[in-house]
Each structure stands twice: as C-alpha cells, then as structure tokens.
Structure 1
Amino acid sequence: MKYRLTQYAHGGGCACKIPPGELESVVAGLIDAPRPDDLVIGLDDGDDAAVVRIEEDNAVVATADFFTPVVDDPYDWGRIAAANALSDVYAVGGRPLVGVNLLGWPRDTLPMELAREVLRGGLDVAREARCHVAGGHSVDDPEPKYGMAVTGLADPARLLRLDAGRPGMPLCLTKPLGIGVLNTRHKTTGEVFPQAVAAMTTLNAGASRVALDRGHTCATDVTGFGLLGHLYKMARASGVTAVIDSSAVDYLDGAREAVRDGFVSGGTRRNLSWVSPHTDFGGVAEEDRLLLADAQTSGGLLVAGEIPGAPVVGELIGRESHTLIVRE
C-alpha cells in the first residue's frame, strides 16, 4: 500500500508554524534582562539559533526544528527536515556537530517501516553535513512530525546575526522562492516536483562559509515566515529599511503557475498579513506579494552582502518611513 504522508497532517513543512505575530506575543517578556554576557545570541530579535560563548574564541550553537510532512515520500521528508534543522546553525555562521532526532508518529495509523525511512533520510543528510546523529526522542502522535535538535560550534567574533545590517548593504538570496506553493500543490494533487525537493535538500553550508569568508555579519535563513517575514525581522532588528526588487528574485519552475492556480497555504497568507502594515508594495501585483511571502521549507540564506552566484534582490537603506519597500 502506498501512503501519502501529507494527507495525515493539517499543514505541511514550515507552513504549519505558529503565525509570527502570535508567536511573538507568546514569547514577549521571556528574556533574561539584562542578557547574560555569555549569551551572545538569544531571544532578543528572533535569530535562527542560540549562541553561548564557552571560551573567548569558541561558542556553542543550539537549535531545534521539526514539522509535519511536506512531501509524501518518507525518505525525502527525512532529508528535508534534517537539512532544515541544520540550516539554523549555518544561518548564524556555525558548524553543526551533533543532531538528535525528534519524531512524532501515529503508530496505529502508519507503519513503523515508514518512520524508519524518515530517520534514514535524516541520517543521510546529517552525514553529508559531517554531523553526528546520536539518538533522540519519539512520541506516539496523531500527526507525523520529524526534525532534529542540533548542536554546533561557532567563533563568537565571526557570526551572522539579524541585528548587524547597515545601510548600503546589498541583499543576496541563495535559493529560489516558490517551495511553499509547489508543496501545497503536491499536498493537494499528488504531483511531484523534483526541483522543490532538490532545493529543500540542498544544505546551506557553502553559502554560510562564503558569507563568513567575505566578512559578512548579517544573515538569516528563509523558512516559514517567507522572504518578506524574515527580511522584516532583519530590518527591524538592524534599525534599517529593506528594499526588495521583485523582478530580481528567482523562482522555481512552476511556482508562478501554482500561485495562479490558487495553491497558496494559509501560512503564506498569514505571512503577508503580518508584514503588510510595515510594507510599501507600490503597484506590485498580489501574486508577486504572495510569492514573496511564500512559506518556505528549508529555504536559502538571505545575506546582507554579496554572495557569488546568488542574485542581488535588494538592499538595506537608512530610510525610516517603511520597514520594507517592494519595487517591481
């Protein structure tokens, strides 16, 4: 029997995250004040991972990420979820060392052989990243969920963070957008999009390394809050305005058609609603707005600085009238 994993969950991938506005209201005030000196990156701005200094030139990076099935193939889902969890370490300039599995499984509904395939996919991607996998935790869950808690290392003097953006910095995006709408089409119709799977299983290790080697200090990965949502957090933390040239953004084949045909997740629409009060869209069409807010799963890095081979999609400026400006 062939199982369609995406039919066993209400949402899929990073589109199933709690909406950013709701999440921020929940964690508001849950921050040590003043922040401990050894907590280099914490909850302040919503960075991708926590960073704790343990020595003058060494810091621990810690993160966790898991979600419901984004594709029907269990092995691919495991690969995607692991790449997505590892991305949080790369997004702050770290190197992953060890991951532990986080698995929720409806054991009375789905065969455990499928769970094994999910874990095998995660292990293979972790091996590609030269990251150990050592155990984990599982629960009997009505919906399947998988991901990892990942620990890594970083140089506290060479980090990528949300609050380090400055006027004049170009913005580069290292993966095309459109993962979310293609995944929504896959969940609805069963169509398979190898280009989306390839994007989601590509590690952000190389982009992170290049960003550090070039002396860049500001970056984030583009996942469930979409390009505009994650860029809004960067601009807000850095006290700048971000300008996006919508015509310069690359999209996966089929993404525009998916939006045109209505395959837009609720998560993407919530992202757009969240950033719209802080954005000057000018005459940018609704379909383009939805693509820029599309809830990505294991998306690319958005780097304030040039990355060879990655398109420059905008810039940071000092203007304060809007946090985001989108141009055609």
Structure 2
Amino acid sequence: MSNEPIRLTSFSHGGGCGCKIAPGVLSQILKNSSGFPVPKELLVGIETSDDAAVYQLNDEQALIATTDFFMPIVDDPYDFGRIAATNAISDVYAMGGTPIMALALVGMPINKLPIDTIGQIIKGGESICAEAGIPIAGGHTIDSVEPIYGLVVMGLVHPSRVKRNADAKAGDVLILGKPLGVGVLSAALKKGQLDAAGYQAMIANTTKLNKPGKALSELAGVHAMTDVTGFGLLGHLLELARGAGLEAQLKMADIPLLPGVEQLAHDGYFTGASGRNWEGYGKDVQLAPGITQAQHMLLTDPQTSGGLLVSCDPASVDQVLALFRREGFEHASVIGQMQAGAARVVVAG
C-alpha cells in the first residue's frame, strides 16, 4: 500500500446521512410495498416515517429497534466510527427511550484499507457506545467496495412515554437541540476548505449524544419528537406536520447554525443531497421572499447525527430548554410553532 495518508472520504460517493436515498425516490420505492397484518403490540411502525420501530413487551416496557449506517463523512477513522455510532443511537433517544444494546454493521474494502484503520473505526464506535452505557453485543461484517459502518440499536421505553413524530398539537412550540450545517461543513472538508476550528465544531456536534430524549419523554408537555438527519430540517419537520395534519411555521432568524456555515453555503459548499431533498418535498414548503440561497441550502442540509426536534406546549418551553442546557446543549433554541392548517412548512425570514 502507498505511504500517502488515507482519505476515507475518497472511497465514498457520499458521506454520512447525505448517503440517504432522496425522499422523493424513497417514497416511490415504498409506495407499492405490500401491506401485512400489524400486531397490536407494534406501537410504531413505518406509517409516519418515524425514527424507530417500537414493540410493546408488557405493561411497563416497550422495545425500540432501529438501525443506521453510512459511508465516511470524515477522513479520521476513529472520528468516523464515533459519528456513525452517535447517529445510530440517536433514534432511540428520539423515541424517548434508553439504549440497552447495539450490534455493529461493518462493510470494508479489505484489500484497500489497512486493518489498523478498520480497527480504529470500530474502536470509535465502541467509545460512543461506552459513553451511552451499552455494549456492542455482536454484528455482521462484509467485504464491500466502499467503507460502511453503523449500528443496530435496541432500547427500552415505557409504552405511555413513547414520543412519536406524529403527535404534535396546534399551538405547540418547536425547539431544536443542535445547530444546523453539518452537511455544509462536510462538503467544505471534502474539498479541502474546512479549517481546524470548523472541523472541531463539526466533530463536537456530530458526536454529542442526544441523551435529553429520555428525560424529555417524561414531560407531559412534550407531545412529539424526532431527530434531524439526512432529509434536513425541512424534511423531518414536514414529517411532523404531515403526521399531525398541521402547518409548521419556522423563523429563519431563530434557527441555530454552526459557526461559519452560512458563508460557506454562500460560497457554494453544500452537498448534492441538499438539492435532492428539496426536489423531494419542496412543493410542500413555502419560503419567504427574503430567504437567501445559502439559507435555503441550510434548511435542506443533510444533518449527520443532528439534534432533537421537539414539539411541546408553550407552558413547557422553559422546562425543555433548561433540560437541554443541563445536558450541555447550549445552542438549543425555539425555532417556530405548529398551527392549524394544511400539512406543510412555512418559513419566515
């Protein structure tokens, strides 16, 4: 093998949650899926594109099951493993649960990547699982053309505390736990235009576990929850709007952004997934005339290991923000509200 430093991102045609199949294409793929009898114990399935499946075991416990995996978004193998694991575990937190166990999904070009590099990816994932307090209890490996890493994650939640993405109520306030811009930073990184501070901001954001999810599920005023990942803020918020049959109203000026990402987006650093996202759901989004092209790209920017998006009653806002702050989510912000109206997203300046 060459002595040149290995760039993991050079092996992948897309990185992180930007690898997701575009929402419009995914809809076409799934629309002809055959129906099947759904047991009453399946509390959450595929009906509202929620973050994970939830199956009731007994009166006190429901099992959360999810999986997520993707190709490298960064070149450092340890960081790649950490990001992928954080992203996968997030779905359990987004349902209001506690993770209990993970299985590793590993696909690697064995003849192109050194064994030590592959080992570092796996160690990165293990470090995040240790932080979440769960073991990696097994998994599956294959020899693949592109590096792929992720987890199957299982968790537990009380059946009455499951937080679906479809239960928002008119008048609810929307709160976002992490700033946007991961896809923009990843695009700049891949083109060699991301400085050290930008990289550190990206890593800090994508490796921060969404632990507030469990405590949020215990608040009666929290009605719905999801995490913002590959379909961008607009895409995942539109899923909330459609599930509840409500209009989501955003204020662009209130949406937290990672440092420097608006200028980077203005300079042309954004992913192809951002455009594909808009093509998939743009017809159900109304943007104010003052929204710039850069802001537009950030609204559809695929977030790898993004923040929790919470829909809660106005009386619970201070409590929700305080909970986020206690867990170190200093950028958590009120970004909009849910109102009666057609299932769409309206963005003001």
Q: TM class, shorter-chain normalised?
A: over 0.9
SS state of the match for residue 176, structure 1? Answer: coil
Structure 1 residue corresponding to 2:219, chosen from 203, 214, 234: 214
Number of the residue aligned with 2:50: 47
Match of 1:205 in 2: 211
1:9 positional shift: 0.5
2:281 match: 275
TM-score (norm 1): 0.96
Amino acid in structure 2 at the alignment position of 1:213: E
Give the corresponding residue for 2:251: 245
Q: How far did residue 281 of structure 1 move?
A: 0.6
Q: Distance in 2 between matches of 1:74 and 1:254?
A: 25
Q: Within 5 A, what are the aligned runs for 1:16-95?
A: 16-30=19-33, 32=35, 35-95=38-98
Q: Considering only aligned residues, what root-mean-square deviation do their CA atoms show, in Å?
A: 1.3
Q: 2:333 aligns with which of 294, 297, 311?
A: 311
AA of the residue aligned to 1:146: Y
Give 1:33 deviation, angstroms: 5.2
2: distance between equivalents of 1:142 and 1:297?
22
**Corresponding residue of 2:105:** 102
Please list the CA deviations of residues 24-82 of structure 1 after superposition, one character each: whole Å capped at 9, or x if unmatched. 22222536455321000001011000000010121111000000001100000000000
* Secondary structure at the counterpart of residue 159 of structure 2: coil
Distance 1:298 1:110 in 2: 25
- For the residue of structure 1 that corresponds to 2:151, the secondary structure is strand
Q: Which moved more, 1:193-202 or 1:209-218?
A: 209-218
Deviation at 1:258, TM superposition (A): 1.4
Q: Specify which of 280, 289, 294 is matched with residue 296 of structure 2.
A: 289
How far residue 190 of structure 1 moved from its aligned partner, in angstroms, is 6.2
Change (3 A) 1:161 1:29: farther
Match of 2:158 in 1: 155
Q: What does residue 347 of structure 2 align with?
A: 326
Task: Report if aligned partners of 2:169, 2:223 keep a CA contact under 8 Å in 1.
Answer: no
Moved more, 288-297 or 19-28: 19-28
1:234 corresponds to 2:240:
yes
Amino acid at match of 1:272: W
CA distance in 2, matches of 1:169, 1:286: 28
Give me the whole-angstrom Cα distance separating, in 2, the residues matched to 1:30 and 1:100.
27
* Structure 2 CA distance for aligned equivalents of residues 95 and 261 of structure 1: 41
SS at match of 2:223: coil
SS in 1 for 2:65: strand
Structure 1: which amino acid aligns with 2:217?
A: L
Q: C-alpha separation between the residues in 1 aligned to 2:66 and 2:87?
A: 11
2:75 counterpart letter in structure 1: D
Could you tell me how far apart the structure 1 residues matched to 2:186 and 2:134 are? 27
CA distance in structure 2 between the partners assigned to 1:66 and 1:275 by the alignment: 23
CA displacement at 1:279 relative to structure 2: 1.1
Counterpart residue identity of residue 318, structure 1? A
Distance 2:100 2:116 in 1: 27
**Structure 2 match to 1:143:** 146
SS in 2 for 1:217: strand
Q: Which whole-Å deviations, capped at 9, do the CAs of 1:250-274 have from their partners, x for residues lacking one?
A: 1101211210111111111111222
Q: How far 1:23 moved relative to its partner?
A: 1.1
Which residue among 266, 272, 278 is the counterpart of 1:266?
272
Write the distance in 1 (CA, Å) between the matches of 2:163 and 2:66.
Answer: 15
**Offset at residue 106 of structure 1 (A):** 0.3
Indicate conservation of the 8 Å contact 1:63/1:149, yes or no.
yes
- Whether the 8 Å CA contact 1:31–1:44 is kept in 2: the answer is no
Aligned pairs for 1:187-198 (under 5 A) are 187-189=190-192, 191=194, 192=196, 193-198=199-204
1:146-170 per-residue CA deviation (whole Å, 9 max, x = no partner) reads 0000111111110111110111000
